[in-house]
Structure 1
Amino acid sequence: MPQTPTFWQIATDRSVTMRALRIALIVGTVIALINHGDRMMLGGMDAIAWLKCALTFLVPYSVSTYSSVMAVRDRLQSLEDA
């Protein structure tokens, strides 16, 4: 019986990371514009605001990665049970 991949192995798989990056770019941009768009347009962004804006992209990346890992694990488990 093959060994089930670890969370980290699945999370760093190219298909998982590429999907998470695409989602993070789309959702992160929307969230960043909602939270910081007015300051961006007015030129009122300081270093802390830009850092917070950049960190905004980590939330959808993390959620997407976690969701993908759980889906892959569930799929592998159902294949093992069959």
Structure 2
Amino acid sequence: MSEVLRLALAPAIVRNALRVALVVGTILNLINQGAPLISGEAVSWFHVFLNYLVPYCVSSYSAASHEQARRRAH
């Protein structure tokens, strides 16, 4: 397993990435699916999932990369 992936699975990074995904994913879903949500129309559950997955991946990768660079500097 690569070092970045191992770091991304660290409990502190996972917790933080989940918080980021919850906030950003909710905002993205309101922007991207707001009209269907308000009108009661069908929602694309695949896109709902992606709206949470993408911020999670970006946040965890960013934190893991930062931690890896910090460790190499010391």
Unaligned runs of 5+ in 2: none
Q: Deviations over 1:57-80 (max 9, x none)?
A: 01100100110011101110111x
Residue 29 (structure 2) aligns with: 32
Structure with larger Rg: 1
Identity value in percent: 34
1:23 aligns with 2:9: no
Q: Name the counterpart of 1:66.
A: 61
TM (normalized to structure 1)?
A: 0.82
- The total of aligned residue pairs comes to 73
SS at match of 1:69: helix
Report the secondary structure of 2:42's partner residue. coil
